[in-house]
Structure 1
Amino acid sequence: MSWLRTGYAQYPVVCTWIVLALLCTFLWWMGANLNGDVDDLLKLHEIRFLVETGNIYDRTLPNILQPEPFVTHWPWIVDLPYALVTWLLRPFIGLEPALSVASFAVPLLMLLPALHFFYRILAAIGFQTPAAALPLAILFAVRSFFEFEPGRIDYHNLEMLLLLAAVALLMSERRGAAAANGAIAALALAISTEFAAFFALVMAVYAFDFIFSARDGAMRLASFGATLSAGAVVLFLAIVPFGTYAVARCDSYSAPHLLALACAGGTFIALPLLLRERGGWMLRAGLLVGLAGASLVVTIGLFPQCVNGPYAVLSDYARDNWLNWIGQEKSLLTRRNFVLSSGIASILIFFIGALAPAMIVGVGKVRDRSLIILALFSVLAVVQSVVWFRYFRYVPLFAGLGLPLVFAAFFPMRLKIETYMTVRNYAAPSQKYLLLAPGLVLSLALLLFHLAVKPAEPNAPAGQLADSCDLVTTPKFDWPAGSRVLSSPLVGIHLLSPDPKLSIVAIPFHNAGHGIERAYRFLDPQTENPRAIVDEAQATHVAVCAWRGKPLAWLENGYSFASALIEGRPPEWLSECATDPSSPLRIYRYVGTDGSQPACPTLSVAR
C-alpha cells in the first residue's frame, strides 16, 4: 500500500477526485440523485435545442407554450461545455447518446478544478500538510460536491467552481490573481446574480486593500476592475442579441447588469490611477462609497423594474400559490419541517464548521489574511442560508474548510496527527471550546424559535396536491400531433420532451409565470369556470397526479374539482385516457363544445 500513500502524497487532488468521481458514479448508477432537481430536466431540453440549432442568441425553447413562448433565463455559456461534448460525439453515436455522455462526464470533469481550488484554500489557511487535512475537509463538504454528480447539469456546479476559484485567488496578493478574479466575477454574474453577495464581498476585499494602502492594493484593485469591465462588455456582446442591447431583462444578463458591472469596474480602475499614493483612508473610502452609491442610483433610475429582483415577473397569485411553497425559496425561520427534524443535526455540524474561522479570528486575534477572508465568506454563506434556504447547499463547502481547524484544535496530540495537521491558525487550548459556540448558539436559537413560534399553516394550493406523486416513474408517451398539456408545473416538466407533437403549458420556473398561474387557477376551488382556463391555455389534454385508492374525504371536502380529477371523476368536458394502473398520472382529453376531442396518448415503446 506504500504506492498508494506515495501517489496520494504527490497528487492529493487527483487521487481525491478519482475517489469522489467513483462515489458519485456509484450513487448515480444506484439512482441516488442526491442534489438533483427539475433544473436538470429543463437544462437537458435547453442543451438539446442549442445543439440542434446552433443559435446562441435564440433562447426561446420549443415545446413550452403557455400559450406565450417560454424564454429561458440561462445564457448559452452555461450550456457550452455540454454542447461541445455533444457536438463532438454526435456524428459517431447520435444526438441522444451524445447528450447522455455529456451529462455524465462534464460534471465530473468540472469537479477536478473545483477540488484544486478547494485544496488551495485549505493550504492557504494554515495547514502545513494540507494533503493530510483534505480527506477530513472533503468528508464534511461532500454534500456540496454532490452538485458534481453525473446528470447534475444545471448551473450550480459551475457557480460553485467559480466561487472556489474566486476565494482562492482572493487569498493571493498577486496582480495576476486579481486580474483573473475580475474575469471570474464578470462570468459568474453574467451566468446568474445568485452569487451577487459573494462577489460583492470579493470587490469589498480588494477595495479594503486599496483604502488602507495594503501592499500593491491599488494596482490589484485596478487590475480587478479592468478585467471586470472588459469581461462584462465581452460577455454582453456574446449573450445579448444585436438590436436588444437596451432591453432590460431582470432575471438574465442584460443592460442593467452591464451598467452595474461597468460602473464598478470603471471606479476600480479610475480611483487607484488618479489617487496613486495620495489621500488618506477616509478620502479613499468616501470616494469609493460615493461612486458606488451614485452608480446604484443611476442603475435603479434607468431600470426601476428590476428593483424587485428576478422574480418581479411573477404575479402576486403565482408568488403566493407557487413560489412561496417551494422549500428552497423559504427562510430557515419558516422551514419547520427541516429545523424540527433530523436536519437540525446537519445544521449544527455545518454551522459549527462554517463559523469556526470567525471565532479563531476574533477570539484568537489571528490576523492572517487568508483566514480572515475564509471567515468573511463563511459568515456570509451562513447568513444567506438562514435568510434564503437555497444558499444552504453552499454552506458545507465552508464547513468543510472550517471543521478541520476545529478538529486540529481539539485533537492535535491524542490522535498523533500533530505532524500532519499542524496549523498556524487555531485558538489556544483554553479557547478551543469557544470555536463551537457560534454554531451551537445559532442552531439552538433556530430550534427554540420554531418551538416557540408556530405560524399558521394555510391550506396547500390545489396545484401542489395535483403534482404530489412519484413523478420520477412517469412513463413516456407517444402524443397525437398538436397536443398541448395543461398540468401542474412539476407534472409538466416531467412530461416535457423533444417530441414536436407535444407542448407543455406550465413548468416550475419563474419565467413560465403565465403558465403556472393558469395551471393553479385551473385547479383552484375559487375558480368558477375552470373550462375557460383550458380554452385560454389552448390545451388539448389535462394531466394530474392519480390517486387510485379509497376516496379521500379531506381532499374532496377542500378541493372538490381537483379531487375529482385526481380520483378519476372528471366533468363531462374531460374524458379520461387509459393509462397503466401503475402510472402516477391520470391524463384527460378535452372535449370541445362541438363534441370534438383529440386522440389519447399511447404508451411509448421506447421507454
Structure 2
Amino acid sequence: MTDPRLTRLFGVSQRWLLILPLIAGYAWMLGNNLGPISNRISPDPDDTMRLLQVRDLLAGQSWFDVTQYRLNPPLGAPMHWSRVVDLPIAGTILLLRPFLGQAGADLAVQLIIPFMTLAVVMLILAAITRPLLSPTGRLMAVAVAPLTVSALSQMQPMRIDHHGWQMAMGMLMVLAALQFRPRASGILAGAAAAVWLNISVEAIPMTVALGAWWGVSWLINPASHDRLRTYAVALCAVSLLLFVLTRAPSAWAVPVCDAVSSAHLAASGVVALWCAIAVRPGLAPLWKRLAVLAGGGGCALAVMWLLDAQCLRDPFANLDPLVRRYWYVGVKEGLPIWQQAPLVALAILAQPIVGITGAILAWRRDDEARRMAWLTYLALLAASILATFALARAGGLANMLALPGTAFLSLRALGWARAIEQPIPACPPRLVHSQSCYPPMSYRFRSRAGT
C-alpha cells in the first residue's frame, strides 16, 4: 500500500520530489569535488577538449569545422564531434561572459552543464516511472538517481562532454516506447535516436534494439504497425536534417565510422522507405510480416556493405599498432566489460543486475494493467545491459535505466519483511530493501579510500 501522505505530496507538489534530490545530490557532488573545481581540473581530457572546441567556435572557427588545430599542427585533427553538444555550452558562455569574464564563464559552464544534464535525465526518469511504479516507487527511483554510477561518473561537476546527453537521449527513447499513442511514440523515439546518433554512433545498438522490439510487436499484432513505421521515418528524417545542419557539404561523402556518414543515412533511408511501404496493419499471414522485416534489415545491411563495408567490421582494425597499443587499448571505458578490472566490472553491472531482477519480478507479479509496460521496459533494459558487455561506458545508460526495476524490487522486499513477524527471518528481505538501490556506492567509497 502507498502512504496516502506520499500520494497527496505527488498530487500537489510532485515537482519538489524531483527538485530536492536533484539539488541535494548535486550539492553532495560539488562538496566531493571542491579540489578539482578550485584547480579547474576536468574529470577527463575530453571535457577540456570540448571546452576548447566551443571556445574556438566562439572565436570564429566555422560551425562546420570541428578540426582541432592544436593537435597535429598545422593540419589539425578532425574530431567528428557533434555541434549539438556544443550548443548549450556555447549559449551558457555567451550569456555569462559579459558578467563573469571569459575565465569565470568557462568555470561556470563546467558547473552548470552537468547540473542541467542531471536535471534532464532525472525529469525523464520520473516520467518513465509513471506507468510502472506507485508514487512511493517513483520517489525512490528518482531520489537515488544522483547516487548512481551514471550520475557520479558522467554528470559530476566539470563533466561537460557528450556522455550525459547520450544517456538523456537513451532514456527519452525508453520513455517514448512506454507511451500509449503509437504515432507520437514512434516520432519521439525516432527523433531521440537521431539526436543520439548525431552525438555518437554508440547509439546504434539501442536504436536497432528498439526497432527490433517494435518489429516483434508487429509480428505478434499486425495492428501495432504505426510505432515501427513512424519510428523508422522519424529516425531517417531527423538524422538527415541534423547531418545537413552540422556537417559541411564538402564532408558529406567522406567515409567515416565513428560518426554518422552518408552510408548510415542511406541504410536508414532504405529502412524508412521499406517500412513506410511494406509495414501495414492488414498484412497476413505471419510469414509475410517476417519476410518484410528480414528483407528490410537485409537491404539496409547490403547498402552499408556496398557504401562502407569497413563500418560493418571493426572500425579500428586499420589503426597503427603503436596507436592501438598506447591509445586505443588505454581507453578502458571503450573496451568490453570482460577487459575491465573485476571491481570496475562489478561496479558497472551491479545496479543493472538488480534492476533487471526487479523488472522480471514486476512483469510476472505486478498488476495486469502494467505488465505490458514492464515487458517493454524489461526488453530495453536487457538491450542496454548487452550493449554494456560490448562497451563498458554504455553502462551509464544501463545503470540509470535500472532504477525503476530496482525500486520495485526494493519495495517488494520491504513488503515481504513486514509480513514476517519474526525478526531474524525478516533480515534477508530487509537487507535486499536497504541495499538494492546502492550496490555501486560501496565500490565508490572503497575506490576513494584507495582500497
TM-score by length of structure 2 reads: 0.81
1:296 paired residue among 265, 286, 301 = 301
Corresponding position of 1:410 = 413
Give the corresponding residue for 2:374: 371
Q: Please report how far the alpha carbon of residue 384 of structure 1 lies from its aligned counterpart in structure 2 after TM superposition.
A: 2.8
CA displacement at 1:166 relative to structure 2 = 0.8
| Mapped partners of 1:323, 1:68: distance in 2 | 22
- 1:296/1:349 CA distance change after superposition, 3 Å: closer
Do the aligned partners of residues 364 and 9 (structure 1) sit closer, same or farther apart at CA in structure 2, a change above 3 Å counting? closer
Partner of residue 123, structure 2: 116
- Counterpart in the other structure of 2:85: 78
Aligned pair partner of 1:382 in 382, 385, 388: 385
Structure 1 gaps, min length 5: 417-428, 440-607
* Superposed displacement of residue 208, structure 1: 2.4
**Who wins on radius of gyration, i.e. which is larger?**
1
The yes-or-no answer on 1:198 pairing with 2:218 is: no
State which drifts further: 17-26 or 37-46: 17-26
Distance 1:134 1:334, change over 3 A: closer
Question: What code does the residue aligned with 1:303 have?
Answer: D
Q: Distance in 1 between matches of 2:349 and 2:241?
A: 43
Partner of 1:533: none
Cα deviation 1:264-304 (Å, max 9, x = unaligned): 222232223xx342323321121121121112112111112
Residue aligning to 1:15 = 20
Helix, strand or coil at the partner of 1:65:
coil
Contact 1:357 1:372 in 2 (8 A): no
Question: Does the CA contact (< 8 Å) of 2:359 and 2:408 recur in 1?
Answer: no
CA contact (8 A) 1:48 1:99 kept: no
Q: Aligned partner of 1:286: which letter?
A: A
1 CA distance for matches of 2:191 and 2:337?
33
Match of 2:441 in 1: none
Q: Give, as a single letter, the amino acid of the residue that structure 2 aligns with 1:149.
A: Q
Identical aligned residues as a percent = 20
- Which residue of 28, 36, 52 corresponds with 1:31? 36
Contact kept? 2:111, 2:157, Cα under 8 Å: yes
* Map of 2:269 onto structure 1: 262
CA distance 1:67–1:315, shift in 2 (3 Å): farther
> What one-letter code is carried by the residue in structure 1 that aligns with 2:170?
L
Distance 1:214 1:107 in 2: 43
- Give the superposition deviation at 1:207: 2.1
Of Structure 1 and Structure 2, the greater strand share is in 1
Q: Residue 510 of structure 1 corresponds to which residue in structure 2?
A: none
Check conservation: 1:119, 1:130, Cα contact below 8 A. no
Aligned length: 413
Cα deviation digits, residues 517-555 of structure 1 (max 9, x gap): xxxxxxxxxxxxxxxxxxxxxxxxxxxxxxxxxxxxxxx
DSSP 3-state at the match of 2:337: coil
Paired residues for 1:79-158 under 5 Å: 79-134=86-141, 137-138=144-145, 142-146=148-152, 147-158=154-165
Query: Does the 8 Å contact 2:388/2:395 carry over to 1?
Result: yes
Aligned residue in 1 for 2:248: 241
Cα distance change, pair 205–65 in 1 and its aligned pair in 2 (3 A): same
Instruction: Give the structure with the higher percent helix.
Output: 2
Partners of 1:35 and 1:292 in 2: CA distance: 42
CA distance in structure 2 between the aligned counterparts of 1:349 and 1:61, rounded to whole angstroms: 38
Partner of 1:247: helix, strand, or coil?
Answer: coil
SS of the aligned residue for 1:169 comes to helix
Alignment of 1:213 onto 2:221? yes
**Counterpart residue identity of residue 186, structure 2:** A
Q: Which residue among 183, 189, 200 is the counterpart of 2:191? A: 183
* Inter-partner Cα distance in structure 1 for 2:287 and 2:267: 24
Segment drifting more, 203-212 vs 174-183? 203-212
Question: Which residue is equivalent to 2:282?
Answer: 277
Stretch moving more, 18-27 or 78-87: 18-27
Q: 1:399 to 1:184 in 2, by over 3 A?
A: closer
Structure 2 portions without partners, runs of 5+: 420-425, 437-451
| Aligned counterpart, 1:287 | 292
